[in-house]
Structure 1
């Protein structure tokens, strides 16, 4: 892992060198850079937001303050790696939108994958994140939540790591446990308080809203809303996937991103 030093802290990231500026991948709540192993292996950079993976934590209240700190992490890594395209999943999408709306930035494109302009979190999930962390983790791994069909997901899918086993569901659960209850709860509360529905027309970069057809956390209608509100945006829905389409259908996910970038820049 490499690190970017900024604002008195270090943000860890993993990158694969490419000859041209690449993509910067931003994970979602409770996750870390390993969510994107199928993507950054082909060129790009994936970071650990503060308090996740190997990055130092910050003292920030959930909501705007935490999103601002996470945006600092992302922008520092993007600058260090000359990344020109942002790809954010869920909370990571909120971080990308926050940066584009609140900071002076110059990026070429944006991919919002399993995200939205408003990211309300179910009240029972918020309660479990405070009082019963294991119940929250179990809920997130029910069908059509993080994964469409957890029981059918092949053991050769890499990405959310955290154990020595090959079961991607157990790896996903282990990663959330590693992140811990406090930081994971901060993530979800930051999502819950995020709402930029009235500012989508301020997004000036070409955008792809990309999701799995079975995603209950950020369903397809969230992405159609993004595509309708952002001036230069496309929407694509991937079959046989839920919230973590980049893990369930990595080839389809990568192809969708490549088609989008090809349409916009070739």
Structure 2
């Protein structure tokens, strides 16, 4: 993997050259760049936020401090790769919003995928992250949480699949374990503290709020709110998917993003 040096640390990323808009993909809590493997494989950049994957960690409190550090990661990688579109899932969406609201950037478009303007975390999940990490991981992999139908992960529209759903679930769990309890807890607590509902009118670039219809973590209503409050935003809901629609319905996900970019970027 390549790295971008900034703020005394290095942030790892994987890039595949492409023509047209250059997308930078930002993962969510407890994940890493491999969340986006089906997207960046055809062109784009996916990074590991600090403390995830191959990126160096930070000493930051959950909330504004951690989000600021993560935003620095994203903008350093975006600059290194000339990326002009940010695509953020969940925590990654919060990081993208934080970057756009708190920094000067050259970003031209935004995709918020399974995210929101406020990302409150259930009290029982916060407790499990503190006291029983394996229970937290199990909860997140229940139906209609991260995934709607694990057995259909990666399916085409005709229901066929080259991906074993159980293998995908185990890889997701393994990634969260590799990230570790402390960093994953920092991620979720940063989400819990995040609230920019009163600042969405400051987002002045075209924005797509994209979600799975069965997402219980960031439901479609969150995305309707984003579409209503961000001046140049619209919502699209993907059927038969939950929080990680980019894995469950990659073709539909990529099609929605492509249509959005064709409409808004030259």
Report the TM-score when normalising by structure 1.
Answer: 0.95
CA offset at residue 143 of structure 1? 0.3
Q: Distance in 2 between matches of 1:132 and 1:156?
A: 34
Q: Distance in 1 between matches of 2:184 and 2:230?
A: 29
Paired residues, what number? 260
Helix, strand or coil at the partner of 1:257: helix
Residue of structure 2 equivalent to 1:250: 250
Q: Distance in 1 between matches of 2:153 and 2:42?
A: 22
- Root-mean-square deviation over aligned CA pairs: 1.4
Residue of structure 1 equivalent to 2:61: 61
CA offset at residue 186 of structure 1? 0.1
Helix, strand or coil at the partner of 1:13: strand
Q: In 1, are the aligned partners of 2:27 and 2:90 still within 8 Å (CA)?
A: yes
Q: Distance in 2 between matches of 1:218 and 1:55?
A: 26
Q: Distance in 1 between matches of 2:153 and 2:206?
A: 32
Q: Distance in 2 between matches of 1:195 and 1:45?
A: 27
After TM superposition, list the pairs within 5 Å mapping 1:184-223 onto structure 2: 184-223=184-223
- Ranges of 4+ aligned residues in structure 1 off by more than 4 Å: none
Q: Distance in 2 between matches of 1:232 and 1:105?
A: 17
Residue of structure 2 equivalent to 1:181: 181
After TM superposition, list the pairs within 5 Å mapping 1:1-266 onto structure 2: 1-153=1-153, 156-157=162-163, 167-266=167-266
Q: Distance in 2 between matches of 1:138 and 1:166?
A: 13
Q: Distance in 1 between matches of 2:225 and 2:42?
A: 30
Unpaired runs of at least 5, structure 2: 155-160
Q: In 2, are the aligned partners of 1:33 and 1:48 still within 8 Å (CA)?
A: yes
Unpaired runs of at least 5, structure 1: 159-164
Helix, strand or coil at the partner of 1:3: strand
Helix, strand or coil at the partner of 1:241: coil
Q: Mean alpha-carbon deviation: is it higher for 3-12 or for 19-28?
A: 19-28
Q: Distance in 2 between matches of 1:110 and 1:89?
A: 11
Q: Distance in 1 between matches of 2:100 and 2:132?
A: 35
Report the TM-score when normalising by structure 2.
Answer: 0.95
